[in-house]
Chains A and B, each alone.
Chain A
């Protein structure tokens, strides 16, 4: 097997001075271009795992390696998030004062993309998401499904190699849910990206070639596929 793109070793994360243990020693390898789903009950630690994989937070112990380099030490978390990772959240998290096309440009400001390129690249991504008629709309003028598609375009803004989605369909109806998952899988295949989706929906969990289930801060071996 080739060396993994992402690897976690003995990952522990606790909160509230150790009183709450969200993760209790998770180890996992993820290959480049893999599509992986993570499921589990509420409070199982699946979102915490995704946050650590995305460099949003640091583990209490253990480490996350990106191409064999430890996050937070060998690679800066800000640089990792800016260049390697695209986030998609359940609540979309678009900036309300910016139009759709401007929201997509926000990550580009973090990596000094030439200003002329920013708007063009954002437009191309929104067209790819089928939002050519919504470029200049503010988030409150968009439907939930459209907001999530803008968020996906934003996640792709800096050509990341990993796409992390935390309950991306949690605020969507079934039609939009299916469309968003189909869209994410399409992007993953076309771009050869690594896609990791946290979900509590079995249908989505089972849509991936590999599915792991987290329970009480540990990977539940019985459900690894």
Chain B
């Protein structure tokens, strides 16, 4: 079998001749893609868990204020809401992110003791809390991290709460959260008479109307009855509540910076490579290689860097997510699951990064004059 030279093989040989530089570049892009996979994966899994929570407790619509981040509405709105014919139940709720110990923070939900949302929880020990009492339920992951059981007490922002039960919720959010009476969280957050949102369960859709049509009609009815408020379907609320929005923004912001550094690292490698291989590019042009073919060779090298770095980055990102999901500080809000779509997206970004980074060096290399390139010292 004689040795066959392929175009991509040639590109790989060019990269491998400077092993250290190639490995360092791959490290750079792997870290960038790893950051993307971990951070964006984290924020998406957070959103996903939020959706699971709505699904498990049967919330159809969340009623919120028309503001981007902090939504705070009057608790008295509930009376008008419950009077609407489409509404079966409307429950006020607050959520907040609080430090429980210097190392552990958690989502804290404020629900009424008779809220339908509590029905979706299974108590593995103890009992529910009572309104007006400094009592809480702990999700089972959080309880394990805090080493607390039913009957123990815990201090939250200067108030001592009794753990009345440990719950197993429908999502990782609840498993890692504190749930306390609404009035207690209102006091802790200085939000007396205010709530974050109302969670609404609709009456069953009438015959002949799809659930989607019914939810739309209910939205319109609620927004007409309560001007200035939004009635948001649960799925939409899962993706645009303030905590998820902040998580997405932080994840994309940080990932973008990491990706920019990764792109610059490939661009630097390719620019140096083209510079060092000026004469070789002249040889290729002298041997009849067209400009586009030289450009394609350099872009192929940059893409290989992006792709291989991308695969390494998937491993880095997955490892980081595993670590985050194991740390007590973040275990309650991170699950180490990655969707295939997210992995493909990361690889796509890695390849596009390679192409973007290689574009200028490729153009420069392809437009070298063969004679000048051949005489380059």
Contacts and interface: CB of A to CB of B under 8 A. Distances in A.
Partners in one complex: yes
Interface string B287-304: 111110100000000000
A109 B2 contact: no
B279 interface: yes
Interface in A138-186: 154, 158
A56 B370 contact: yes
B3 A110 contact: no
Interface string B1-20: 01111110010011011000
Interface in B262-292: 279-280, 283-291
A20 B6 CA distance: 42
Contacts of A57: 369-371
A87 B287 contact: yes
A149 to B, nearest CB: 17
Most buried by A among B5, B10, B290: B5
B374 interface: yes
A213 interface: no
A81 B5 CA distance: 20
Interface of A, helix, strand, loop or mixed by DSSP: helix
A154 B4 contact: no
A79 interface: yes
Contact of A99 (B3, B6, B291): B3
A78 B3 contact: no
Contact of B290 (A99, A110, A119): A110
Contacts of B5: 98, 101-102, 105-106, 109, 118-119
A97 B17 contact: yes
A184 to B, nearest CB: 18
A107 interface: yes
A119 B370 CA distance: 26
Contacts of A85: 288
Contact of B284 (A105, A106, A136): A106
Interface string A95-135: 11111011001110111000110111011000000000001
Interface string B359-377: 0000000000111001000
Contact of A107 (B7, B288, B371, B374): B288
Contacts of A115: 4, 6
A97 B289 contact: no
A138 B2 CA distance: 15
Interface string A53-96: 01011000000000000000000001101110101010001011
A78 B295 CA distance: 14
Interface of B: 2-7, 10, 13-14, 16-17, 279-280, 283-291, 293, 369-371, 374
26 contacts: A78-B288, A81-B286, A82-B288, A82-B289, A82-B290, A87-B286, A93-B279, A96-B17, A97-B14, A98-B10, A102-B5, A102-B10, A105-B4, A105-B5, A106-B283, A106-B287, A107-B287, A109-B10, A110-B288, A110-B290, A111-B288, A115-B4, A115-B6, A122-B2, A135-B2, A158-B288
6 closest Cβ pairs, A-B complex: A82-B288, A110-B288, A119-B2, A105-B5, A102-B5, A81-B288
Interface of A: 51, 54, 56-57, 78-79, 81-83, 85, 87, 89, 93, 95-99, 101-102, 105-107, 109-111, 115-116, 118-120, 122-123, 135-136, 154, 158
